[in-house]
Amino acid sequence: MKRFRGFVIKEFYHIFRDYRTLLILFGMPAVQLMLFGYVLTNEIKDAKIAICDPSKDEVTRRISDKILSSGYFILEQNLNTVAEVDPVFRKGVVKLALIYEPGFAKKLEKTGKANIQIIADASDPNTANMLVNYASGIISNYLVTMNTEKVPLRIIPEVRMMYNAELKGVYMFVPGLMAMLLMLISALMTSLSITKEKELGTMELLLVSPLRPSQIIVGKVFPYVFLAFIDAVIILVLGRFIFGMPILGSISLLLLESFLFICMALSLGILISNITSSQQVAMMISLVALMLPTILLSGFIFPVENMPVIMQVLCHAMPPKYYITIIKSIMLQGNGIEYVWKETIILIGFTAVFLAISIKKFKRRLT
């Protein structure tokens, strides 16, 4: 029994001396709890909206004030005409638009009813539904306060869902799954490449070769670029012909953007393999450190606007967020490069940074 107690104590010492084990035991649960606690929410807040109010009367002003003071919406832009609605949605910032009919208050007073159009960006159908329900509920509550006279007043909301009139969930999941699969497959394949060379003992052959570090890195990445690009084409074909995902924009631009995202993911995989010494660690980092952030912090399932400010900062450091924005803009809205150039430059920047760090950290000799 004494020897067994000594053995158990030794195991405790061994665990406490290994900071990586302690990080997995105590750090990972805390991080995941914080992520899930702040990200997994069905509440909508601070959604950016646009308002087109040609009448600018007292009633429309009160309705708009009530909507903006609810805490769910923030006014992003006042529109002068209905023709401005489509361009403002294509920019990808506004999630909802309210359009009052001309002479709103006069018509409400004269006929007892008036119309208001609620237009939502349904590329994320769940969020669009919730925003429409919130706006309709606020309008209904305001109408209750107005109906103190004998003649009941009616404000009739006309709902229109843009880019996804049937509210198909596949319009949201295909772009998100495409980003997640390409990120995981590309990063996982390349993260194992250099660590495999280390474990098999063949790294020495590369180190004594006349190849420069940049050439070794690019040589490792190049075959996987081709293979991952085939995966991207397969995903697009399945999404289009099996799930009915539309491709309204340029297919060439979509493939180029997918190629750029693959290069970024492969560069990140090379960086991971460069800073790890075993395939097991590289695989764990690729799966755990990339999969959860891609699902939770990319806007794939949970809207970024709902998260605390610090989580939104983390979201903007997630490359899949920009790729999802790009492919939704191209596939669902039919936009060109003029609408996604900022996200494209950001992905190019991520790729350059990851490659530069990988080349810098590549060791010319084994230690």
Q: What is the pLDDT of residue 10?
A: 67
Give every strand in the sheet of 73-79, ordered side by side: 73-79, 47-52, 96-100, 113-121, 154-162
Contact 119, 83 (CB under 8 A): no
Q: Which domains occur in the chain, in start order? A: 47-162 (3.40.1710.10), 170-361 (no CATH)
Cα of first residue to Cα of last residue in the chain, in angstroms, is: 42
49-53, 108-112, 301-305, 314-318: least confidently modelled range:
301-305
Main-chain phi, psi angles of 56, to 5 degrees: 50, 50
Q: What is the pLDDT of residue 366?
A: 46
Share of the chain above pLDDT 70, in %: 82
Q: What is the pLDDT of residue 11?
A: 66
Residues 1-21, mean pLDDT to the nearest whole number = 68
Q: What is the pLDDT of residue 213?
A: 64
Q: What is the pLDDT of residue 34?
A: 63
State the residue for tokens 């002479």.
103
Distance CA 58, CA 99 (A): 15
Nearest Cα residue to 323 out of 235, 221, 217: 235
Kindly indicate the confidence band of residue 117, based on its pLDDT and cuts at 50, 70 and 90: very high
Q: What is the pLDDT of residue 323?
A: 93
The predicted-structure confidence for 51-98, as pLDDT tens digits, reads as follows 998 888 888 899 999 998 888 899 888 888 888 888 899 888 899 999
Distance CA 255, CA 142 (A): 48
Q: Which burial class, exposed, middle or buried, applies to 1 when counting CB atoms under 10 A from its CB (0-12, 13-18, 19+)?
A: exposed
Share of the chain above pLDDT 90, in %: 18
Kindly indicate the confidence band of residue 342, based on its pLDDT and cuts at 50, 70 and 90: very high
The predicted-structure confidence for 217-253, as pLDDT tens digits, reads as follows 777 777 888 888 888 899 889 888 888 888 899 999 9
Tell me, yes or no, if the pTM score tops 0.85: no
Is 114's pLDDT higher than 90?
no
Distance CA 63, CA 142 (A): 7
Q: What is the pLDDT of residue 151?
A: 58
User: In the numeric block, which tokens belong to residue 5?
Assistant: 């107690």
Is 22's pLDDT higher than 70?
no
Q: What is the pLDDT of residue 81?
A: 86
Kindly indicate the confidence band of residue 344, based on its pLDDT and cuts at 50, 70 and 90: very high
